[in-house]
Structure 1
Amino acid sequence: MKTDVSERLKRYLLGAKVKSMTSLLALLKSDLRKMLSDYMSLTGDMTVTADINDEGSEVLFHIDFRADEVYDAGELMETDSI
């Protein structure tokens, strides 16, 4: 029962655009992986989770990933075509 209430609260706080927290987290994870791979070499899997704060007024996102190389910002600016 507590899980049902928590899921309903998450859906309410996120608005009608999001059908489920699971789909939101999957999309967020995919987008973050694409973006971060432009700046570093990612290793392993990325974890993205969400929780409601104690007051129930905010959704807290937690992102965990590992990288074995961070690219030089100067190199990125030279190769990017803006």
Structure 2
Amino acid sequence: MNNPMQQFTGTTFTTSDQHKDTNPARTARDDNDTRKLLAFLQDHSPFDETDGALRNIETGVAADSRVNAEQAKAIGEKFV
């Protein structure tokens, strides 16, 4: 039905390249970025279980017992 309608009206339907993120250059860049992230996380693991503390993966600063991240939403809503 689509093709006869296009012929009748003298119009055509075309599409542009889809999924531009799947081209070889983009795929290679994404792979490189993934490898960088994995290397960073190996050196700055957020899952260090030596002391069981919540830790900033960049600075290494550990949270103490006053941190209540699990209550962040409820606390924030008090100020709205």
Normalised TM-score (structure 2): 0.30
Structure with higher Rg: it is: 2
Q: Greater share of helix residues, 1 or 2?
A: 2
Q: Greater share of strand residues, 1 or 2?
A: 1
Normalised TM-score (structure 1): 0.30
